[in-house]
Amino acid sequence: MLKKFMIIPALLFLVFGCSNTKEAAKMAEEKPVIPEYVKDPHSFSRPWEAVVTHLSLDLVVDFEKKTLDGKVSLKIKTKENVRELYLDTGDLSINNVTLGSEETPTEFRLGEKVDLLGRPLIIDILPGTSIVNIYYSTSPKSGGLDWVSPLQTAGGKHPFLYTQSQPIFARTWIPLQDSPGIRITYDAKIKVPAELMAVMSAENPMEKNAEGVYNFNMPQAIPSYLLALAVGNLEFKATGPRTGVYAEPELVEAAAYEFGETEEMIVAAEGMYGPYRWERYDVIVLPPSFPWGGMENPRLTFLTPTVLVGDRSLVALIAHELAHSWSGNLVTNADWNDIWLNEGFTTYIESRIMEEVYGVEYDRMLAVLDKENLIREVKDLGSDSPATRLKLDLAGGDPDDGFTGIPYQKGRFFLTAIERAVGREKWDEFLRNYFDDNAFKNMTTERFIEHLNAELLADNKQLSDSLDVSEWVYGVGLPGNFPEVRSNELAKVSKSASNWVNGGSISDIETDGWTTHHWLQFLRDIPRNASREQMDELNKTFGFNESNNPEILVEWFLLAIESDYQSAYPALEKFLMEVGRRKFLKKLYIKLAKTPEGLNWGREIHEKVRFKYHYSTNLTLDKILNPEKM
């Protein structure tokens, strides 16, 4: 359990006891109260001493040098007598540091480098210092910046840049306090080549300007991992009164169609969990190297192009990233040991949005597939592995290792179990109040459990005992009271697959109206040791090798690897060479690494294509393919 630091200056009591409100406000401004923070094992910052509250960026994007150059000004609040500000950095060149609007020079130093965490930047400050200015430049090898060549974009003519700050890569493009428990507002001035457009997780332009200078403002306080920047040949197309898409011209129409129901999702979520507090919800389609399905940067979700399949069958991803507008962006895990508070809540809300917009049976299909994914993940990790706990202990390790399916799906089904135990109406009321009461604050697992017990379970010991919250949160594997989920649609698919496997005709399988989810269930029901003749028949009938749906392709490739179906390997190699989404790559390379032949082939492919993958993706794949070197 992490130690909590609670600073309650005597001033706080003086303010509450002061009858003169103007005098009290003045006192609070002179000696600001530092709120509660946890000691984050993945940050050098000391926010209980001095905390950053706002940052102002002034940067030039240089595609030739592959650097960002310029200045960041940090507004800070300090506890009395604090003389040092601790920041996080990663491969940054710090050129100069000054204090205040008058730019008074000050001393600074970089501490010893720590693997994964970078180096602390320690700046000498004075009592009363409220602004710190840092002149710096990034490295071409920055883990948070992906410089995409023109050939790797849809248009093939212009370069592209995007950031990936989660979990601790913000420090590789901005010197700051890089911990999810610390919230900041920000503004920015970004200079880019005139033919390109810049967008951020902020108020955004909707068209290019001739100067290539873009100004941004983010008035809502966000954690550092939600700082985001993208620069490319972009166009904007509205999809609703407060929604729209940014994409390269070649993709913008397809993206606008694919995500055309986003406004309906927002309305559904608002009806359950309260108002959307971020004004606009736009999305941007990034190049294929983007490592995630989506990144929930507020006001501008970053998306993989792999969801552009033409039939809106993968829009659960949008529902997920939108749900983060409440869980994660609004109420945020205090550090990455509590990642389930972001992702488990979000996956649960995603399912509720999908049910509201697309119907109960559609959501049941998703739930069945998600449960199967979770069972697979627990098996791969080991049912007694600490990695299967909701509350993690990642100190001394890579916070990225916490982003397995456990916080997403085990967390989601834990909340489903609570919903079923207390009733949906009561549970929805609890969640809405939870988001309202904790808006723009951080949350720990322990504080959530306290809140749950106080507000929902305290008056019913039998209910509390039956839920077994402690086993869900701190226990390994899956608990005994895991919720049952069923889908009539997928049951029909399983029956069709079974009939064929047991000698039936493949022509008897009725696939009219099948969605992606039907196909995933069908492929999962095929025996892992399917014969070459069976695999040939499947591929000839349904054209799996030529599918343009990456979810279906990956499921097919997993089956092909386990069945040693070499006829799928050219398509598999093409997929690995073109797609950078880490979720897909991780599954495929893990499966390849199960045999010596597959491991060697996987290493060869990875060496060929690693220059196309994102930095974080390569870190993950190196652990899979070359564990002895890690």
| pLDDT score for 388 | 98
The dihedral of CA 380, 385, 390, 396: what is its sign?
negative
Structural contact between residues 57 and 188, judged by C-beta atoms closer than 8 angstroms: yes
Which class is 42-150+166-203+213-218 in CATH?
A: mainly beta
**Which residues are bridge partners to 52 per DSSP?**
76
Contact 402, 394 (CB under 8 A): yes
Residue 22 has pLDDT above 50, yes or no: no
DSSP-derived secondary structure letter, 426:
H
537-546 own/partner pairs: CB under 8 Å, 24+ apart: 537/506, 538/506, 539/567, 539/568, 541/506, 542/511, 544/568, 545/570, 545/571, 546/571
In sequence order, what E strands does 410-542 have? 441-443
- 337-474 and 497-629 in the same fold: no
pLDDT beyond 70 at 14: no
3-state SS assignment for residue 443: strand
Give Cα 321 to chain centroid, integer Å: 8
Catalytic site includes residue 350:
no
Q: What is the pLDDT of residue 269?
A: 97
The tokens describing 542, both together, are 């349904």
Topology of the domain covering 497-629: 1.25.40
Please choose, from the candidates 620, 614, 17, the residue with its C-alpha nearest in 3D space to the C-alpha of residue 289. Answer: 614
- DSSP for 54-74 reads EEEEEEEEETTTTEEEEEEEE
Residues 6 or more apart whose CB falls under 8 angstroms from that of 515 comprise 311, 313, 365
Is 464 in contact with 453 (CB distance < 8 Å)?
yes
Q: What is the average per-residue pLDDT within 22-42? A: 56
Question: Quick one: pLDDT band at residue 332, thresholds 50, 70, 90?
Answer: very high
**Residue 465: which residues within 8 A CB-CB, separation 6 or more?**
none
Ranges of each domain in the chain: 1-33, 42-150+166-203+213-218, 337-474, 497-629
Average pLDDT over residues 531-548: 97
Estimate to the nearest angstrom the gap between the alpha carbon of 67 and the chain centroid: 24
Torsion angles phi and psi, residue 291, rounded to 5: -80, -15
CATH of domain 337-474: 1.10.390.10
What mean pLDDT value characterizes the chain?
A: 93
pLDDT, one tens digit per residue, over 217-253 is 999 999 999 999 999 999 999 999 999 999 999 999 9
Q: So what's the pLDDT on residue 401?
A: 94
Residue 186 known to be catalytic: no
Q: What is the mean pLDDT of residues 381-395?
A: 97
Query: What CA–CA distance (Å, rounded) separates 550 from 431?
Result: 34
246, 348, 408, 434: which is the annotated catalytic residue? 408
| Res 405 pLDDT > 80 | yes
User: Please, are residues 148 and 161 in contact by the beta-carbon 8 Å criterion?
Assistant: yes
Q: What is the pLDDT of residue 35?
A: 56
pTM score, whole prediction? 0.91
| H helix count then E strand count, the chain | 21, 23
Burial class of residue 310 (count of CB atoms within 10 Å of its CB; 0-12, 13-18, 19+): exposed
What pLDDT does residue 27 have? 33
Could you say which of 248, 261, 296, 321 is catalytic? 321
Rounded to the nearest 10 degrees, what angle do helices 21-30 and 10-17 cross at? 160
Tell me what pLDDT residue 458 has: 84
Mean pLDDT, residues 420-424:
95
Task: Work out the pLDDT band at 7, boundaries 50, 70, 90.
Answer: very low
CB 535 within 8 A of CB 567: yes
Amino acid at 55: L
Measured from the Cβ of residue 463, the count of other Cβ atoms closer than 10 Å reads 14
Nearest to 291 by CA among 116, 143, 118: 143
